[in-house]
Amino acid sequence: MTNKHAGFVALIGEPNAGKSTLLNRMVGAKVSIVTHKVQTTRARIRGIAMHGQAQIVFVDTPGLFKPRRRLDRAMVAAAWGGAADADIVVLLIEAHRGITDGVRSIIDTLHVRKGEQIVALAINKIDRVQAPELLSLTEALNQAYPFEKTFMISAERGHGVEDLKDWLAAELPVHEWLYPEDEISDLPLRMLAAEATREKLTLRLHEELPYQLTVETENWEDKPDGSAKIDQIIYVMRDGHKGIVLGKGGETIKSVNQAARADIEELTGRKIHLFITVKVRPNWLEESERFTEMGLNFRDGNE
Ligand X SMILES: Nc1nc2c(ncn2[C@@H]2O[C@H](COP(=O)(O)OP(=O)(O)O)[C@@H](O)[C@H]2O)c(=O)[nH]1
3-state secondary structure (DSSP) of residue 70? helix
For 101, residues 6+ apart whose C-beta sits below 8 A from its C-beta are: none
Q: Which amino acid is at 129?
A: V
- 202 near Mg ion, rule: CB under 5 A: no
- 162 near ligand X, rule: CB under 6 A: no
- 163 near ligand X, rule: CB under 6 A: no
The answer to whether the CB of 33 falls within 8 A of the CB of 46 is no
- 252 near ligand X, rule: CB under 6 A: no
Query: What are the Cα distances from residue 153, in Å, to 25, 118, 150?
Result: 12, 19, 10
Q: Which stretch binds ligand X (CB under 6 A): 68-76, 119-127, 255-263, 289-297?
A: 119-127
Smallest distance, ligand X to C-beta of residue 38, A: 6
127 vs 166, which CB is nearer to ligand X? Answer: 127
Q: Which stretch binds ligand X (CB under 6 A): 125-133, 221-229, 241-249, 270-278?
A: 125-133
Smallest distance, ligand X to C-beta of residue 221, A: 31
Applying CB under 5 A, among 24, 39, 41, 124 the residue interacting with Mg ion is 41
Side-chain-side CA neighbours of residue 116 (13 Å): 15
Q: Which stretch binds Mg ion (CB under 5 A): 40-48, 77-85, 211-219, 224-232?
A: 40-48
CA distance 26 to 155: 9
CA distance 64 to 70: 14
Which residue, among 222, 232, 244, has the nearest Cα to 194 in the 3D structure?
232
The answer to whether the CB of 55 falls within 8 A of the CB of 179 is yes
Smallest distance, ligand X to C-beta of residue 249, A: 30
Instruction: Give the footprint of ligand X on this chain (CB under 6 A).
Output: 13, 15-21, 34-36, 40-41, 63, 124-125, 127-128, 154-157
Instruction: Give the footprint of Mg ion on this chain (CB under 5 A).
Output: 19-20, 41
